Amino acid sequence: MFSDHQPRQERHTFGKNSQVDHRKKLRQRLCFGFAIFLCAAFVIVLNPSTFDYDSSALVFWTENSTTSSIGSQGSINNGDDNHISPSLSAVEAKIPSTNYNVSSSTTTTNAQIELLRPTGRTVYSYVRGDRSGAAIQDMLMAHAYAFSKGQRYGGACQRREFPDHVIQPRKELLQVLGLESEMPFRCSPTGKLMNRFKYTQQDTGIFNTPNYLEYMHAVMMQKQPEYQQQLPKRPKQITVHIRRGDITPCRPRTNGFPRYLPNQHYLALIERYKAKLAAAASRDSTDHQQQPMIQVVVYSESETFEPLDEFSQKGYDLRLDGSIDQVWKAIAFESDVVILSRSSFSLVPAVLSLPSKTTIVYTPFWHKPLAHWDDMGTLDPVLMNTTLTEFRRLKKTCPDKSERKRQEKERKRNIKYS
């Protein structure tokens, strides 16, 4: 009897041992996989630039679609992807980041560009569907982040095809600045795109990367000769950008800031900087009796919550619904003082203007100022309190919610069929 059951018991014991061995091997594999994960995490923490691509933003292209999408934008140099990104310390030692000479010759400018140009791998971002100012600001941040890592910026890729009336104005704005070849609309041959969180994490602080603005100024001077022209006899110019249109006191705040700035705010800043320019001109002039010529140019939109007649009555040059190219050209090249609105549209050319030539007047909002700008939040808290009081007064005059919805529908209908 005993001998009959023995084989079954042995077979049963062998099965248990097999299960134990299988579980042991599984635990070993899990421990090994976890160890690899910890090592990879450790590498990322030590060197986050190793993983600059956003795996969620992969774009898969067929051979035909890649040819049609990239071929229209220009050829892509595939060799750059295999270069190792050098440290910027060697470049920083050669070129100081301050006291940049605007009147450099073309030869010096070319040498400056080649010396500062990154030689690492080529990286790409994707095209945002926002308005032109915000979309180009996103490209500029990606460009600056790539520069900070010693990498080349290959361009912004359209993950979905945008119509020409969306992309073409952006190309024209970049041409005004002379940056159309530095910041093209182009896709990566591998389909990999930069991690947007990384290059926007510092906000406008990424533009403080050593030598970055000097490099961009050199590129702009090479493409736009007027950028380095000094015209001492021309009238001093104050350029004002007033963002209106769909921006009203009735709209909700953006990141804690009301987007609308009242007329009173701009008028007060214009008077302040007119007085500053006049005082500076009288100090530099031998004829102290002669009043300096100061031209005030105001760019805005005809659709506005407050009438803009006050600016015309004061003799200012009010330009409504004009060419957006001209606004950027005036801010980047032609102005002695630029008064910004709470908008990326005026922020981008202001970032690229020369600090030695142009004073940028900044009103606090969700994008931070550069170090050399005149920040009204710090320089004049009284003005900011007055502006907030006026904003609250205007907000009380807003129509009720149902009427605002009707007006917004009517505004969009007019835009669609205009």
Which pLDDT score is estimated for 414? 57
The pLDDT of residue 288 is 54
Judge contact between 213 and 99, C-beta under 8 A: no
pLDDT, block means (10 residues), the chain with 418 residues: 47 51 78 80 54 40 34 36 36 38 54 85 91 93 95 90 86 93 92 91 94 92 70 81 93 91 97 93 66 89 94 95 93 94 95 93 95 94 96 91 69 50
Which pLDDT does position 383 carry in this prediction?
A: 96
Residue 290: both structure tokens together: 């002669």
Q: Residue 390: its pLDDT value, please?
A: 96
Q: Could you give the CA distance from residue 264 to residue 373 in angstroms, rounded to a whole number?
A: 21
Three-state SS for 414?
Answer: helix
| Residue 360 CB neighbour total at 10 angstroms | 23
Contact 147, 125 (CB under 8 A): no
- How many Cα atoms sit within 13 Å of 339 on the Cβ side? 25
> Residue 26 has what pLDDT?
80
75 Cα distance to chain centroid: 25
Contacts of 165 (CB under 8 A, 6+ apart): none
- Structure tokens given for 213: 């603005």
Burial class of 105 by CB neighbour count within 10 A (0 to 12, 13 to 18, 19+): exposed
CB 331 within 8 A of CB 338: yes
Do 206 and 351 form a contact (C-beta atoms < 8 A)?
A: no
Instruction: Annotate 310-341 with DSSP letters as a single string.
Output: HHHHTT-EEEES--HHHHHHIIIII-SEEE--
What pLDDT is stored for residue 395 in this prediction?
93
